[in-house]
Amino acid sequence: MIDIHYHLIYGVDDGAGSLEESLALAEESIAEGVTHIVCTPHASDSFAYRAKVNQERMEEIQERLGDRVKLVMACDFHLNAENIHDALKNPLKYSIDGKGYLMVEFPEMAIPPQLGEALQRLHGVGYTCVITHPERNPVIVRNPKMMADWMRAGSLVQVTASALYGRFGQQAEAFSNQLLDRNWIHFLATDAHHMEWRPPHMKKAYEYVAKRAGEETARRLCVENPMAAVTGTKLPTQPEPVGVWDDAPLKFQETLQSAPKRGGESTKKSWLGKLFGR
């Protein structure tokens, strides 16, 4: 498996706090069968992206781990004005191993149309934008149609692995599983930060997807597509994303309803049923 969203580098953001924590996280991933880890330190208003420090510390961690796992540099790229300007000025700077795939995080309070336009400009200078953890973004959850718009324009989608089995709550679980069922997911990744509150558990998600959607889908989301992102190559042929190109399933509910309770049906129509027009 290949984990393309991972806050492994210590002391640069809200991920690993020390070299020892970085090594513990990596050892957990190795034990689960992860062969490549894409290091994605934040580039945000809260955490400046320090390229030299990031590279030096990644190399230090790699030296300690040896050849049991391959570390690759990238970024958790927040869509703010400063970042967008710098990324356009320095094509591929923030992408995975400088080969084009860019892990993009949208703001959680509001997403103005200009950010969709920014995606297009980033595509125009060579980036392939990957929308990270949409199931945890309340704006996107309330209006998935905007994500369909971005996908039609060439963006890809990465969902947090543990969201599928409920670690981020019922709403994220229900939404991410709908995305899985409709082939709106291109990558699963852990977004690992900490051994306790955000552990790097890819294996459980792989097994979950294999059981729900088949082994081929699990390999596509956890191995084949991530390998394309690491090598900077085109994704293999993907299944048709249900509803992205059709009008009817895009009649999304703008006002989010309560997620159905576990173990039973809600007395009202499920918000997901309204959301996806089924």
Dump the DSSP string for 177-197.
HHHHHTT--SEEE--B-BTTT
User: Exposed, middle or buried, 185 (CB in 10 Å: 0-12/13-18/19+)?
Assistant: buried
Q: What is the pLDDT of residue 214?
A: 97
| Residue burial 229-262, b: 16+ Cβ < 10 Å; e: rest | bbeeeebeeeeebebbeeeebeebbeeeeebbee
Q: What is the pLDDT of residue 245?
A: 83
Residue ranges, the chain, pLDDT below 50:
248-278
Q: What is the pLDDT of residue 198?
A: 87
Q: What is the pLDDT of residue 271?
A: 37
Q: What is the pLDDT of residue 252?
A: 42
Q: Do 84 and 119 form a contact (C-beta atoms < 8 A)? A: no
Q: What is the pLDDT of residue 247?
A: 56
SS3 118: helix
